[in-house]
Amino acid sequence: MSQTLTAREPVSETSEKTLRVGQRSLLSRFMRRPEVGSLLGAIVVFVLFFALAEPFRQASSLMTVLYASSIIGIMAVGVALLMIGGEFDLSAGVSVITASLAAAILSFQLNLNVWAGAGLALALALTIGFVNGVILVRTKLPSFLVTLSMFLMLQGLNIAVTKLITGKVSTDSIRNMDGFASAQVVFSSYVPIPGLGVSVRITVLWWILFVAVATWVLMRTKVGNWIYAVGGNAESARAVGVPVAKVKIGLFMTVGFFAWFSGMHLLMASGVQQSGEGVGNELLYIMAAVVGGCLLTGGYGTVIGAAIGSLIYGMTKQGIVYAGWDNNWIMFFVGAMLLLAVVVNMWVRTQSSKR
């Protein structure tokens, strides 16, 4: 009897201690998540504009915020994956316009079905990503130099080729061509939300799907492990058999795919594409990924964090409009938000590492 009582006490203390340790570990694991800082920032921005701007509280305004976020967020999915893999792409912004211009010009000039033009544009966008990746892998130059060169070349080609073929800085309209109506449904339609009396742009639904798929790839597949390994230490990853070159080229081609998708949305929204657009957007994609917790050095971050970073941008951009503030302040707030997010993320990681 006495032996039984004596034996139970250490078991009870151990269980209670294990429970406390488990609780601390759960909190510690949550605080170490890359997107914690951006999540806190998103809550602050939402509460700020919800309190200051009455139109911000309307359901239709929230749909507009989600649309503005999805435009940046779709590209941020590919850019975040690439950054986790240790690289970034300065040509991402103009690549979107290149894909849109290619689809419009090929469809109109060759009198193709719009879907055929979109297919050829997809091949071009993937080729741009492939070229970026191969040059980086073969020359071992920094991705900054490789993609900056591609950015400048595409910027010049977009305007020069468009003027050479159409005689102006925009493409001819493809709104009346075969396949445009069905392509518009896929890339740029509105989906009604039952019960709310409002519609949401289909890009928001695509954005959610892309984030879910990319998160599953990162967290549940061997390819996801390879991406983190390559971004963390490429030489160590290569030593244990990770195909570093294929992973990096594949990530650049993934950015090319999302550039194509974003370009198709722009084209199907109006049927016309201006050749000078897209410059500077690459910084917004990188901003969303960094605000969401991705490190420029690679090996750390999540796609969900990049989505939250895009949401913060969308809320800030539209919130300033709804609050009646001067639009010229938007980029100031975006820059301040980026700096604050980096500092908060560093602080959160430092505090969680002390636990």
pLDDT of residue 327: 78
- Whether 18 maps to a domain, the answer reads no
Find, among 9, 16, 261, 4, the residue nearest to 122 by Cα. 261
* Beta pairing partners, 170: 274
pLDDT of residue 233: 92
DSSP H or E segment with residue 192: strand 190-193
SS3 label, residue 200? strand
- Whether 101 maps to a domain, the answer reads yes
* CATH number for position 91: 1.10.3470
- Whether 84 maps to a domain, the answer reads yes
The CB density around residue 335, as the number of other CB atoms within 10 Å, is 12
- Whether 319 maps to a domain, the answer reads yes
pLDDT of residue 10: 46
- Whether 252 maps to a domain, the answer reads yes
d(CA 19, CA 279): 53
pLDDT of residue 9: 44
- Whether 225 maps to a domain, the answer reads yes
pLDDT of residue 8: 44
Provide the number of structural domains found in the chain: 1
pLDDT tens by residue, the chain, 355 residues = 344 444 444 445 445 555 555 555 666 677 677 777 788 888 988 998 899 888 898 899 999 999 999 999 999 999 999 999 999 899 999 999 999 999 999 999 999 999 999 999 999 999 999 999 999 999 999 999 999 999 999 999 999 999 999 999 999 999 999 999 999 999 999 999 887 788 999 999 999 999 999 999 999 999 999 999 999 999 999 999 999 999 999 999 999 999 999 999 999 999 999 999 989 899 999 989 988 888 888 888 899 999 999 999 999 888 888 888 887 777 888 788 778 777 777 776 676 666 5
Q: Strand 198-201 to strand 190-193: parallel, antiparallel, or no bridges (unpaired)?
A: antiparallel
Residue 163 lies in domain: 59-342
- DSSP result, 46-81: HHHHHHH-GGGGSHHHHHHHHHHHHHHHHHHHHHHH
- Whether 330 maps to a domain, the answer reads yes
Sign for the pseudo-dihedral over CA of 345, 350, 353, 355: negative
d(CA 232, CA 228): 6
- Whether 22 maps to a domain, the answer reads no
